[in-house]
Chains A and B, each alone.
Chain A
C-alpha cells in the first residue's frame, strides 16, 4: 500500500504544498478579491455577494405551443383552428374573460393568483425563423433575425459587467454550455451531477491523495502559477483582461482548456464544500420536489443558492416541446412537469428566505402553428408567451394577445407584439442592474414587469 516514501514525508508535503488541496488556492483567492475591488469601480453592480439578485433562465426547448399554454377561450378562431386539440372552455383555468391557462398549469395558476407570475403575451421578433437551431440562436444571442452574433446575451452580460468574477458567476445545468452563455472571455461553468463534478481519485488512500494533489497542480492555469497572476495584474495596470482576456479564448485550444480546467477546479471545490455543509437530502428545508428531471435541476439550483454561491445567472433547459404529433398526450404532461417544478422551487426558496432574490424567466425558441396538423400535433410557429416568476415580478398580464384570425396571421402563425429583447432588457435592468443597451447593443422599451 505505502508506495510513497514515508508517511511523515507525505504529511509534510500535504501540509505544505497540499494545504491547498481542499480549498481554493490562496493566490487565486487573492487575485479574485483584487479583481472584485477593481470591478467595484464600474457603474454596474459587482457580480458577487450572497445577497445579490439572481436570474434563472429556463428554455422550454423544442418550441412550446403558446396557444395551448395561454388559451384564448373566448375566441371562435381558436376552436376553429384546433378541432382536435382545443381545450374546452369549461376546462380552462380562466384568468380573465378572454384568457386562461391550460388545465395542466394549475400549479402556475396558484402562483399567478398569489401575485408571483408576470405573463407576457405575443413575444417574438421580426421576420421569425422557424428552424429550431436558428431561432434558438436568435433567442440565445438576442440578435436580429438577419444577423449572426457570436456571443450570447448572458455571455455579453458577463463580458461587460462581470470582469474578474469567479467562473461560477454563471452556472449551466447540463453538459454543453448554451450559446446564451458564450462570451468573449469564456466564463460560467456547466454541471449536471454534483456527485461527479470533481476529480475522482481511487478512494481515501495516500496514493489517491497524492494523485489528487498532482491533478490540482497540473490543472492550475499555467500562467497563474508561482504568483504570476499578481505580477500580471501589476504590470498591466490592474487590467483583468490580461488574466483571462480575449486573447485567451481566441488563443490556442490548449489555452482555452487550461482556463476551463482551472474553472472546473475552483468551481468544483466551492460547489462541493457548499453542498457538504448542507443537511442531507435537501436544502435544510423539508421542501418536496416532484421526481422529474426539471425538478431535480431546480432543486440543485436551490441548493446552490442556499449555500451562498455568488452565481448571478443559472441556465437550464427542459426538452420535449416539439409536439408535431399526438400533442394531447405529451403537451399537458410537459406543462404539468414544468409548472409543478417551478412551484416546488419557490416553496423551497421561501423556506430558505431566498425567494425575494430569485427571478425565473422562461422562453421557447418559437410557438407553434395556430392550426393543428394532420397528426394531432402542431408545427413550428412564431410568437408565444413568456413567463417571469418570483416575488419581485409585478404580477399580471402584459402584451396584447395576438389575433388568431386568419387574416392577421403570418404564414399561419401569430404575429408578435413584444420583442423578446424588451423582456431581456427589463430583466437585465431590474435583476442584474445593467442597462439593456450595454448587453443588447441598443435600447428596448422596458416593460413594467418588475417591482422597483
Chain B
C-alpha cells in the first residue's frame, strides 16, 4: 500500500470516521462554551490518546482543532461572547445582526464561511507542505536557528500590542524550557536542587496550567455575569446558493489571508481573522456597515479563522515548527507517539502526514454538517451552570497532567503555571509568545550550539549562509519596522497639535 492509500484506509475505517465525528463535535461544543478553549480541551485530550496509534491520535486531535475554532461562532453570534479567541471579530457583526432579528442568517453565513475557509486552506496545505519540507531538508543548524529566531520575533512584533511585553513573554518561555538536561551538551542545569527537574518542565502540564487552569480562575472570578441569549428557533441554517455566490470573492480572499497568516509561525487564528476583517472592510462597498451587522464582516472573520488552521499545519508537518498554541500541542502529540517532527517526517512517516491532511479535509465537512444540524442543541449546552463544569475541568487538569509521566510533580507544575498564566494575563503579558518560546527555545539552542561546534565557534555562517541571512534580515525588519511605524503614528498627532 502506498502511504496515501494507508491514510485513506485509516480515515475511511469506522474507527477513523467515529474519531473524526467525536473530535469535531466535541471541539465545536467546547469551542461554543465560553471559558473552555480549544487549546485547553486538546491539551486535556492528549493523555487519552496515549494508547491509540499515532494516526488515530492525530485524527482525533486535528478534528478537535477544526471543531474548536469553528464552535466559537455560536456564542459569538448569540451571546456576544467569542467561544474561542479566534471568533472575536465575529462578535462585532454577528451579534448586532442576531439582535436585529436574523440570528439564523448570521449563523448560516458564519457556518458557510468557516467551511469555505477550511477547504481553501486545505488546498494550500496539500500544495505547499511537501515543497516546504523538501526545501527545509537543506537547512542546517544555522538556518534552523535563524528560522526559529524569525518565528520568535514574528510572534513578538505582530502578535501583541506591546513589543516588550511579548518579547518578555517569549523569553520567559525560553527560560522555563531550560531546566533539566541541555539539548545541546547533555549536561544537567538550572534544576535548583530538585531531582524532579532533571527531566525539565514538560510541555503538557505547563500548557494545561497556562490555558486551562488560568482560564478556570478567570471564569470563577466572573461567575455571576449573566448574559441575554438570543434564541434561534425556526430559522433556516443551510446557506442558500445565492449566499455562496454573493460572498465567493470575500470568502476566497479572507481564506487566503487566513492561510498565509496561519503559515507564519507563532501567529494564531485571532490575528488571521483581524487581518481578513479589515481587508474586507477596505474592499467593501458598504464599509460603514462593519460593526453594525455586516454580512461581509461575518464572512471575512469566520473564513479567515478557519483558514489559519490549514495554514498553521503547513510549517508543523513540513518543519516541525508550530504555527500556534494548538499546533504546539499537536507537536507534543507527535513526540509522545514516538515521531520526530521535522523535515524528515515526510520521508519517515508520509502516511501520517496524509492522515493529518485527510482528517483536516473530512473534519471540515463534519463540522459543516454538525453546525447546520445541531447548532440549536449546542447553543443550549452553553447554559450548563459553571458550578458543575469547573470542578470537573479541574479534575481533568489534574489527571491530564499526572497521566503524562505518572508523576505528582507534573501536577504541581500545572498548578504553579496556572497561577503564572493568570498573573501574566493580569499584567497584560500575552501568553502565546510564552508557549512558542517554550517550544522553540530548546530547538534554537540546540541548533545554535550544533552550528557553533561545526564552525569551530564562529558565528559568521549565520550571515554568510544565504538562507540563514535572509531569515535574519526578515526578523530584523519585522522587529524594527513596526516600531518605526508606531513611533511615527505616535508623533503625528503631536505634530499636528503643535
Q: Do A and B make up one complex?
A: no
Chain A residues within CB distance 8 Å of chain B: none
Chain B residues within CB distance 8 Å of chain A: none
